[in-house]
């Protein structure tokens, strides 16, 4: 007689066998039983699957198909999640009112939190505050969502919270919410809870929900790992308004269940907590300073991700490596260390970091192949392409606008020689609709899928800017094959290349600024993977342009050098595009203060331009203008001015007075006038350039702002301090807004403002800002860049103005040595530093050293700059002051009279330097007892100070005090007292 149960068992065996086959494939299945803490997981292979089926057939028969209203005595709690089979032998029923041991099937147990749990006090406090005991009469349900990427510690935080507040709840129901089936099975299992059985609850998930909803005490229902769609959890929420619900998920959309206000993203740990976790997991109880320092480096490399730290500690504790050489092993064998099978998972997570993200990615791949609808499959395919493209960009500031711009360029341009795989990915990723507009919805659907698994996150209040966790970013590269890496690196490269435009609109400037780290990440991937000929010279040229415009001159130089070599090899040295690339390289040299290299290359390019293109070709004129700029940087003012005047005439003749190249040359000529102290000529030209820039480019264009900043500097040297400050503040604000706080142009405008504060004797503001400028110059340009040296010199001047003579002298000596080393002993900037140091000696009473250095500086100024250049006049005035302090009044008077005449002639009778010279001469008269001459001059100085600076300016007050002393020395006590 046949067994009536046999067909049912065969069906079950077939279902379970199919489930095993799908889960395992050719991989191993992990089976987990209750075991002592720290014991290893057990693994089986498909070859023993039949024995498992035989062994557990009766158990699964009773567990999965319990007759309605019946019980299955002796069955164990069995649950399958992902590829882990959980077999619970003894079930603990968690409840404040009733805690008993029960051998009934299905009653799910809550895991214990990890013994290594560390930190997260802020999150725990947020949960405790949210689920605080209710006030009298409060009967509303409380819900909360913890969301974040896999491995960030959501479940462990939840477990620790439940442990801390277990006494607050009559029941804690812990449900594995990784799928709709596991939720249903977990709820169904609650029907075997003693209280549920006593209430006569039938065995079904619906009955369990009704029972939970009927409880009048405080209960907590936890949906752990609810990574699916929100509606999966929503259908299992008990009815009623009582109780508490806590959800953990990778998908922030679960906020629809709890409300988005009651949601919290779990991010990386605090650094000190992360270090402590690593040391605990490594079982390193002796924490020397060296061990702590190494642990800090590991923590930063692993971005404070709890699962990665737990795994690193397990690897160290198991002897796979030591804490001293972990980072070395990680750099060489990242895949093995991040996915090592011996990792036990002390946090009871039971997956390595890479397994965690593989699980999410494999689910997306399954959606792309076997999704229930075409829309869902397309979204998953988009998600895969976006994630793999992001792998070869920087992990932060991934912007949608780049894809939109690239899509529009691809619609107009055909890329020849593109590999078929790359072309397929590009066409799929940058989908265009019938009207040739970008299919933005396709991209956004892919983003939505990635965000639902917390593989990326939005990092801005405005949509369209995303980030990938650094470890996920590295994992997404490492999981690819070599050929796949090469293809996807080219896809990401083509996205970047095709979204770069040289039109200087505000939108493009902002976009190019964001592209800088992506460009660097992309071409560095080429080097790291040893790929050749992934980039061509035109692509490198676009990258170099963006880096150059954003002040990343070292990186731009590296790429531009490659471009020159490629073009020489491909087209020869006389091809116009080769000459352009050589000229661009020379400009990059000049921007870095490498003036000798720039001059040598520019002279070479100039000869070739004249031969190949002709002496009046626009490219030849640009090279001439660039060479003049290099002469200016070298302090060869006369050569620079002569060449710029020639180029200006040719530009007007060939291109017209309003051509951008003509304006650029005019601005450079104005700068040359300024550096020579020809402030009136500089101002006149700068005002003209400024008007044309505003008219042609707009008031906020970078070239307009540079001109405005230069004009502010001219006003400052002319003594128009208020106008200079107002302009400098405006330029600085615009530069920060458009270019960022670390762009060289921004730093230049900051330096102008700091110098304005110095001239106004606002020493505290000047010092604070100048210190910031100096730090940024060192960081962005390097410690020996000419602009860095100028910043150091300006700071020394501020120290001197504040009476910090020792600090000023120490810094000035350092700056002088660097100037001589980098620019030479006769460079104008070197001479300026010599003058400042000589003044510092004088203020400290070191008159012999001051006189010796000032005489040397003055001789060089007359030789290099000429006898009437403002720097020369300042040097003469400083020397006269030194003579006066030494009691050499006749030498001082003779020199001061000469300086005053030259100041009036060169700078004008009301220039601040002229007024200072008058005051110095008056002081010498007073020291000689020539009180009438001193009084006459001091009255004139006071009137000019009041007129130019105002009655309360420090210089005005000093002039009043000097005049009062002269009155007193003459016995005019009433006048002295009044003054």
Report residue 727's pLDDT band, with 50, 70 and 90 as the boundaries.
very high
pLDDT at position 626: 92
Confidence band, pLDDT 50/70/90 cuts, at residue 341: low
Summarize the confidence of residues 544-569 as an average pLDDT.
92
Q: What is the pLDDT of residues 788-800, one digit of tens each?
A: 998 999 899 888 8
What CATH number was assigned to the domain covering residues 908-978? 1.25.40.10
Burial 870-882 (b: 16+ CB within 10 A, else e): bbbbbbbbbbbbb
Compute the mean pLDDT over every residue in the chain, rounded to the nearest whole number.
Answer: 81
Domain extent listing, the chain: 121-265, 271-370, 390-397+455-645, 825-897, 908-978
Q: Which of 333-342, 427-436, 582-591 has the lowest mean pLDDT?
A: 333-342
What does the pLDDT read at residue 463? 78
Task: Among 49-63, 98-112, 378-392, 805-819, name the one with the lowest average pLDDT.
Answer: 49-63
CB 781 within 8 A of CB 788: yes
Q: What CATH number does the domain located at 121-265 have?
A: 3.40.50.300
The pLDDT assigned to 85 comes to: 35
Whether the pLDDT of residue 46 is over 50: the answer is no
Give residue 560's pLDDT. Answer: 94
Q: What is the pLDDT of residue 94?
A: 37
Whether the per-residue pLDDT at 572 is higher than 70: the answer is: yes
Q: Which two tokens stand for residue 546?
A: 């963006």
Q: Determine the pLDDT at residue 861.
A: 85
Pairing of strands 171-176, 244-249: unpaired
Residue 254 has pLDDT above 50, yes or no: yes
d(CA 722, CA 715): 9
- Higher-pLDDT residue of 136, 804: 804
Structure confidence at residue 513 (pLDDT): 87
Which pLDDT tens digit goes with each residue over 74-125? 333 333 333 333 333 223 333 333 333 344 455 566 777 788 888 889 999 9
For 590, residues 6+ apart whose C-beta sits below 8 A from its C-beta are 598, 626, 629, 630, 633
pLDDT confidence of residue 434? 64
The HSE-up count of residue 524 (CA atoms within 13 Å, CB side) is 11
Closest by CA to 703, choosing from 500, 556, 505, 499, is 505
CA nearest to 315, candidates 270, 345, 292, 288: 345
Residue 348 pLDDT more than 70? no
Contact 794, 758 (CB under 8 A): yes
Write out pLDDT tens, residues 526-544: 888 777 766 788 888 999 9
Choice between 39 and 829, residue whose per-residue pLDDT is larger: 829
3-state SS track over 956-976? HHHHHHHHHHHHHHCCCHHHH
Q: What is the pLDDT of residue 4?
A: 46
652 closest CA partner among 627, 604, 688: 688
N- to C-terminal Cα separation, the chain: 129
Percent of the chain at pLDDT exceeding 90: 23
Q: How confident is the model at residue 66 (pLDDT cuts 50, 70, 90)?
A: very low
Is the predicted pLDDT of residue 54 greater than 50, yes or no?
Answer: no
Q: Rounded to an integer, what is the distance from CA 479 to the centroid of its chain?
A: 25
DSSP codes of every residue in 350-389: -S-HHHHHHHHHHHHHHHHHH-SSHHHHHHHHHHHHHHHH
pLDDT over 70 at 349, yes or no: no
CATH architecture of 825-897: Alpha Horseshoe (1.25)
Query: How high is the pLDDT of residue 557?
Result: 94
Distances 602 to 630, 641, 657 between C-alpha atoms, Å: 9, 17, 25
Instruction: pLDDT band for 461, please (50, 70, 90 cuts).
Output: low
Per residue in 633-676, pLDDT (tens digit) is 888 888 999 999 999 898 888 888 888 888 888 999 999 988 88
pLDDT at residue 83, as a whole number: 35
Point out the least confidently predicted range of 436-440, 732-736, 764-768.
Answer: 436-440
Give the residue, 537 or 416, on which the prediction is more confident.
537
Over range 221-233, report the average pLDDT.
88
Q: What is the pLDDT of residue 413?
A: 52
Each residue of 470-479: pLDDT tens digit? 888 888 988 8
Whether residue 29 is predicted with pLDDT greater than 50 in this model: the reply is no
* Cα-based distances in Å from 716 to 756, 786, 906, 910: 7, 21, 16, 14
Q: Where does the pLDDT of residue 913 fall: very low under 50, low under 70, confident under 90, or very high at 90 and above?
A: confident
Burial tier of 677 (Cβ tally within 10 Å: 0-12, 13-18, 19+): buried
How far from chain centre, in Å, is Cα 214?
A: 52
Q: Is the confidence at residue 582, as pLDDT, over 80? A: yes
Least trusted range by pLDDT, from 59-73, 128-142, 334-348, 852-866 = 59-73
Q: What confidence tier does 869 reach under pLDDT thresholds 50, 70, 90?
A: confident
Per-residue pLDDT at 689: 92
Give the model's pLDDT for residue 734: 92
**Hey, which residues does 143 pair with through a beta bridge?**
245
Same fold, 825-897 and 908-978: yes
Q: What is the pLDDT, as a whole number, of residue 70? A: 37
> Helix (H, G, I), strand (E, B), or coil: what is residue 882?
helix
Q: How far apart are CA 956 and CA 234, in angstroms?
A: 77
Quick one: what percent of the chain has pLDDT higher than 70?
85
Chain-centroid distance, C-alpha 786: 26
| 138 vs 557, residue with greater confidence | 557
Per-residue pLDDT tens for 164-173? 888 888 889 9
More confidently predicted of 568 and 958:
568
Contacts of 492 (CB under 8 A, 6+ apart): 389, 390, 391, 392, 393, 518, 522
What is the second-level CATH architecture of the domain 390-397+455-645? Alpha Horseshoe (1.25)
């Amino acid at each position: 007689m046949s067994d009536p149960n046999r067909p049912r068992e065969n069906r079950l065996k077939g279902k379970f066998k199919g489930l095993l086959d799908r889960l395992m494939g050719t991989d191993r299945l992990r089976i987990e039983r209750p075991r002592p803490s720290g014991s290893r997981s057990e693994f089986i292979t498909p070859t023993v699957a039949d024995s498992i089926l035989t062994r557990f057939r009766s158990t699964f028969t009773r567990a999965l198909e319990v007759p309605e209203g019946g019980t299955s005595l002796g069955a164990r709690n069995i649950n399958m999640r992902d590829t882990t089979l959980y077999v619970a032998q003894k079930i603990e029923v968690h409840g404040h009112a009733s805690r008993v041991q029960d051998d009934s099937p299905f009653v799910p147990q809550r895991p214990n939190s990890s013994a290594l749990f560390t930190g997260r006090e802020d999150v725990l406090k947020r949960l405790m505050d949210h689920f605080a005991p209710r006030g009298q009469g409060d009967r509303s349900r409380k819900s909360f969502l913890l969301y974040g990427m896999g491995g960030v510690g959501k479940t462990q935080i939840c477990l620790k919270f439940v442990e801390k507040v277990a006494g607050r709840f009559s029941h804690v129901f812990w449900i594995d919410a990784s799928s709709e089936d596991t939720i249903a099975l977990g709820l169904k299992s609650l029907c075997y809870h003693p209280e549920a059985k006593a209430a006569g609850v039938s065995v079904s998930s619906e009955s369990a929900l009704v029972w939970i909803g009927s409880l009048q005490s405080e209960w907590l229902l936890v949906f752990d790992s609810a990574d699916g769609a929100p509606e999966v959890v929503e259908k299992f929420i008990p009815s009623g308004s009582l109780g508490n619900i806590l959800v953990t998920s990778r998908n922030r959309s679960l906020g629809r269940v709890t409300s988005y206000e009651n949601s919290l993203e779990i991010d990386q740990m605090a650094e000190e907590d992360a270090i402590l976790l690593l040391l605990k997991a490594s079982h390193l109880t002796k924490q020397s300073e060296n061990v702590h320092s190494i642990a800090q480096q590991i923590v930063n490399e692993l971005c404070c991700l709890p699962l990665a730290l737990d795994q690193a500690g397990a690897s160290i504790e198991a002897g796979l490596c030591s804490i001293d050489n972990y980072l070395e092993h990680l750099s060489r064998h990242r895949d093995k260390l991040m996915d090592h099978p011996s990792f036990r998972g002390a946090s009871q997570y039971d997956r390595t970091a890479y397994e965690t993200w593989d699980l999410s990615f494999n689910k997306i791949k399954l959606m792309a192949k076997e999704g229930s609808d075409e829309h869902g499959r397309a979204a998953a395919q988009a998600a895969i392409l976006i994630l793999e493209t992001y792998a070869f960009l920087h992990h932060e500031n991934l912007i949608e606008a780049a894809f939109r711009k690239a899509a529009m360029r691809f619609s107009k341009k055909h890329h020849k020689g593109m590999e078929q795989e790359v072309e397929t990915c590009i066409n799929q990723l940058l989908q265009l609709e019938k009207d040739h507009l970008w299919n933005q919805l396709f991209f956004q659907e892919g983003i939505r899928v990635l965000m639902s698994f917390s593989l990326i996150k939005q990092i801005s209040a405005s949509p369209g800017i995303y980030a990938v966790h650094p470890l996920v970013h590295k994992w997404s590269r490492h999981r690819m094959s070599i050929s796949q890496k090469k293809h996807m690196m080219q896809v990401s490269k083509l996205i970047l290349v095709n979204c770069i435009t040289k039109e200087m609109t505000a939108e493009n400037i902002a976009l190019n600024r964001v592209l800088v780290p992506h460009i660097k990440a992309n071409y560095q991937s080429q080097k790291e993977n040893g790929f050749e000929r992934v980039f061509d010279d035109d692509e490198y040229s676009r990258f170099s342009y963006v880096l150059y415009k954003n002040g990343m001159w070292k990186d731009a130089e590296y790429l531009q050098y490659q471009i020159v070599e490629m073009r020489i090899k491909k087209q020869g040295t006389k091809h116009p595009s080769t000459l352009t690339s050589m000229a661009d390289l020379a400009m990059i040299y000049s921007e870095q203060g490498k003036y000798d290299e720039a001059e040598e290359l520019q002279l070479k390019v100039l000869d070739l331009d004249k031969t190949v293109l002709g002496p009046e070709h626009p490219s030849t004129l640009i090279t001439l203008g660039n060479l003049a700029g290099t002469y200016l940087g070298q302090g060869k003012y006369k050569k620079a001015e002569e060449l710029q005047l020639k180029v200006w005439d040719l530009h007007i003749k060939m291109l017209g007075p309003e051509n951008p190249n003509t304006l650029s040359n005019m601005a450079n000529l104005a700068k040359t006038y300024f550096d020579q102290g020809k402030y009136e000529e500089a101002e006149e030209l700068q005002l003209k350039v400024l008007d044309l820039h505003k008219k042609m480019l707009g008031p906020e264009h970078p070239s307009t702002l540079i001109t405005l900043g230069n004009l502010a500097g001219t006003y400052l040297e002319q003594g128009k301090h208020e106008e200079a400050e107002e302009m400098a503040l405006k330029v600085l604000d615009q530069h920060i807004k458009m270019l960022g706080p670390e762009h060289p142009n921004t730093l230049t405008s900051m330096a102008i403002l700091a110098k304005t504060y110095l001239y106004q004797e606002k020493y505290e503001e000047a010092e604070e800002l100048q210190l910031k400028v100096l730090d940024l110059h060192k960081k962005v340009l390097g410690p020996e860049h000419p602009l860095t040296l100028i910043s150091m010199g300006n700071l020394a001047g501020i120290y001197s103005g504040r009476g910090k003579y020792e600090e000023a002298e120490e810094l000035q000596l350092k700056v002088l040595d660097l100037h001589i080393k980098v620019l030479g002993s006769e460079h104008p900037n070197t001479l300026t530093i010599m003058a400042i140091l000589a003044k510092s000696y004088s203020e400290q009473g070191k008159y012999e050293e001051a006189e010796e250095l000032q005489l040397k500086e003055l001789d060089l100024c007359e030789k290099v700059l000429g006898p009437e250049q403002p720097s020369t006049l300042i040097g003469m005035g400083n020397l006269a002051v030194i003579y006066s302090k030494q009691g050499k009044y006749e030498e001082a008077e003779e020199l001061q009279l000469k300086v005053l005449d030259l100041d009036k002639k060169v700078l004008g009778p009301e220039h601040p330097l002229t007024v200072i010279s008058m005051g110095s001469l008056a002081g010498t008269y007073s020291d000689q007892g020539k009180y009438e001459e001193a009084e006459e001059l001091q009255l004139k100085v006071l009137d000019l100070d009041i007129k130019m600076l105002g009655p309360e300016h420090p210089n005005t007050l000093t002039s009043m005090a000097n005049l009062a002393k002269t009155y007193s020395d003459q016995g005019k006590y009433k006048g002295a007292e009044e003054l």
